[in-house]
Structures are given as structure tokens and as C-alpha cells.
Amino acid sequence: MSAFSTGISEIVLIVRDVPRSAEFYEEVVGLEPVSRTGDEWAWFLAGEPGTQQRIAVHKGSLLFEEHSPHPEGHRFGNVHFALEVPRERLETAVKHVERKGVKVYGPTQFDWMNATSYYFYDPDGNLLEFWSPEA
């Protein structure tokens, strides 16, 4: 951990359709909804209850977007992020995503971190990973 940070607090994904993405993150990924504000925002708990680790889907601009070094329309792009899944629930989580009609890639074994990962895409092309350290 860095000298300043104690962990990730939130990830905000810019999406085309908040209701569609919110349904994906709740029904496919299995995140617990925290709040929704119509077509602009949907927030989900991404950590253990009681933590402030959250993922949001948002349509529109963000604070200080005008200061981005990238041109308008390209200031935010597709991202990759991993969600840790306890080893005993990893296969169940992957099967759940597949039952929802989402193509899952893997498993991929990572010897350097002694973990197994599976990958899949959300409706906006963001690459998600379910990863689990070996017991």
C-alpha cells in the first residue's frame, strides 16, 4: 500500500445506457446496488459491507473533465478491472455470468500471484475479471 492511499474507494465507468449497465452489474456481475438516479448514475457496493469500495456507471461528464489531456469524446475510455472472488465461489460466479449469456474467457493461471482469473466484457466494452488467489 502506498504511503498516502489505503485502497480504492470508487471506480466510475462512463457508459452509453445507465439502466442497461446497471442491470448488467446487478444481475450478471452480482454487485449490490447502493443508489440510482434515473438515467445518469447507478452506484454499487464493490467490497465487503461497511466499506466504501464502490463502482458507479454514469452517463455524462465528470468533475474537471475539461482539464483532461485527451480530446473531447476520448477523455474516458474502456477500462479493465478485477473483482476478487473467494476461491470457493469462483466457479459458481463464472457459471452465473455464462447463464446470463455473457461469454467468459479463461481460466487463466497466474503463477506469479498464485491465482486463477476469468474475463468477460460489459455492454460498453469494459473488461472485467473475476480473480481468486489459490487457497
Residue 44 lies in a domain: yes
The total of structural domains in the chain comes to 2
Q: Are residues 56 and 104 in the same domain?
A: no
What residue numbers bound the domain in which 89 lies?
78-135
* Distance from C-alpha of 83 to C-alpha of 98, rounded to nearest angstrom: 16
**pLDDT tens digit string along 35-72?**
998 899 999 999 888 888 999 999 988 877 777 777 87
Q: What predicted TM-score, i.e. pTM, was given to this entire model?
A: 0.86
Least confident residue range of 4-13, 66-75, 96-105: 66-75
Q: What sign results for the dihedral spanned by CA atoms 35, 36, 37, 43?
A: positive
| Four-point Cα dihedral 78, 79, 80, 85, nearest 10 | -110
Q: What pLDDT score does 75 carry?
A: 67
Residue 72 lies in a domain: no
